[in-house]
């Protein structure tokens, strides 16, 4: 039995890892498309090991990332930005607006820093579920493009926020003109803080429902000088974490910054829920965090 483990959820061993699915929407994506995700890996061996991650899948090209030394009994998170790429699926590849495929993530553990003496290998199959949100099979139940204001979105402090966080329309970074939603919040001095952009929705009484959110984050000033980076982005539904990117306990840049990220999640039908985009960050002084949202959609069929 392997003494290492790879997970993509917050379920703790020894409980079994649930099936993991990455949802993606092809509309307006570049070609080729990039795949990023956050992994959590475990060392159950009685010695420290050097970890490496790669992957495979039909039509995909994967990178190989050396994760470094992990002590015996420890675990760690790692965000893998642009970890893999593939040709963008065509509209014809998604009959009725959907398609599924599998990829394999391969975690390896070595006894040496040169990654030459392989001791353990662990594989996990992950489903990639593609949708075409422009397909006639889907009804667009909600479209928030912020062309006439914040459209019901607000921001709240989760922990250690300095001052009053704010949301407003903005023109500095947009996907659909003229506006996006821009949220700004600040850390308390030398502390990790968190804030959530949120809005309540009632989902339709249909069997298939997705939310599509295009999100961009960037700190206001300081950069590496003040350590004012983002550590985690979490998409939650009434407090339940649907997507986790980054490492709340990490330092430096833990999530992709200064780039648009599309996050797609399934939602339950016929339910009133609060949809949140929660961002975590810290710095060694009081510093601002900016979060942009544009073209938020809820789809159903």
Q: Give the mean model confidence (pLDDT) for residues 229-251.
A: 91
Q: What sign does the dihedral 42-47-53-58 (CA atoms) show?
A: negative
Q: Give the mean model confidence (pLDDT) for residues 14-34.
A: 95
Check pLDDT > 70 for residue 221. no
- Of 214, 216, 199, nearest in space to 279 by CA: 216
- Least confident residue range of 18-22, 86-90, 185-189, 249-253: 249-253
- The pLDDT of residue 91: 96
Check pLDDT > 60 for residue 241. yes
Check pLDDT > 90 for residue 190. no
* Most distant CA atoms of the chain, gap in Å: 60
Residue 175 vs residues 95, 132, 172, 213, 261: alpha-carbon distances, Å: 27, 18, 10, 11, 11
- For the entire predicted model, the pTM comes to 0.94
List, in order of start, the domains of the chain with CATH numbers.
Answer: 4-131 (2.60.40.10), 139-300 (2.60.120.260)
- Please, how many CA atoms are within 13 Å of residue 48, restricted to the half-sphere of its CB? 9
If one compares 271 and 288, the residue with the highest pLDDT of the two is 271
What is the CB neighbour count within 10 angstroms for residue 36? Answer: 16
- d(C-alpha 66, C-alpha 61), whole Å: 17
- Please, how many CA atoms are within 13 Å of residue 177, restricted to the half-sphere of its CB? 0
- The pLDDT of residue 189: 77
pLDDT confidence of 203, banded at 50, 70, 90? very high
Check pLDDT > 50 for residue 298. yes
pLDDT confidence of 283, banded at 50, 70, 90? confident
**DSSP calls for 68-134:** EEE-TT-EEEEEEEEEEEEPPPPGGGSGGGEEEEEEEEEEEEESSTTS-SEEEEEEEEEEEEEE-TT
- The pLDDT of residue 2: 85
Check pLDDT > 60 for residue 94. yes
Check pLDDT > 70 for residue 227. no
Q: Give the mean model confidence (pLDDT) for residues 191-210.
A: 96
- The pLDDT of residue 55: 98
Check pLDDT > 90 for residue 252. no
pLDDT tens digit string along 54-80?
Answer: 999 999 999 999 999 999 999 999 999
- The pLDDT of residue 250: 82
- The pLDDT of residue 223: 46
- The pLDDT of residue 224: 47
- d(C-alpha 68, C-alpha 64), whole Å: 12
Q: What percent of the chain stands above pLDDT 90? A: 84
pLDDT tens digit string along 96-133?
Answer: 999 999 999 999 999 999 999 999 999 999 999 999 99
């Amino acid at each position: 039995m392997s003494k290492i483990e790879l997970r993509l959820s917050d379920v703790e061993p020894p409980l079994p890892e649930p099936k993991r699915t990455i949802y993606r929407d092809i509309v307006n994506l570049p070609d080729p498309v990039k795949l990023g995700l956050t992994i959590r890996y475990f060392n159950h061996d009685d010695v420290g090991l050097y970890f490496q991650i790669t992957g495979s899948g039909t039509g995909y090209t994967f990178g190989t990332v050396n994760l470094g030394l992990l002590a015996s009994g420890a675990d760690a998170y790692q965000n893998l930005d642009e970890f893999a790429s593939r040709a963008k699926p065509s509209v014809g590849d998604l009959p009725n607006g959907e398609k599924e495929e599998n990829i394999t993530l391969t975690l390896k553990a070595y006894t040496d820093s040169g990654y030459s003496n392989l001791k353990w290998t662990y594989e996990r199959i992950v489903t990639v579920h593609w949708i075409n949100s422009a397909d006639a099979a889907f009804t667009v139940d909600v479209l928030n493009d912020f062309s006439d204001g914040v459209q019901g979105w607000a921001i709240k402090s989760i922990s250690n926020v300095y001052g009053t966080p704010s949301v407003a329309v903005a023109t500095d970074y947009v996907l659909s003109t003229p506006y996006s939603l821009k949220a700004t919040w600040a850390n308390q001095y030398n502390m990790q803080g968190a804030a959530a952009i949120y809005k309540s929705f009632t989902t339709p009484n249909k069997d298939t429902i997705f939310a599509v959110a295009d999100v961009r984050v960037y700190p206001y000033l300081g950069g590496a000088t003040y350590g004012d980076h983002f550590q985690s982005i979490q998409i939650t539904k009434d407090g339940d974490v649907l997507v986790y990117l980054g490492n709340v306990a990490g330092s430096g840049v833990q999530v992709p910054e200064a780039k648009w990220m599309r996050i797609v999640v399934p939602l339950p039908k016929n339910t009133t829920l609060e949809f949140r985009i929660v961002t975590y960050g810290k710095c060694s002084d009081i510093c601002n965090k900016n979060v942009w949202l544009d073209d938020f959609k809820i789809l159903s069929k």
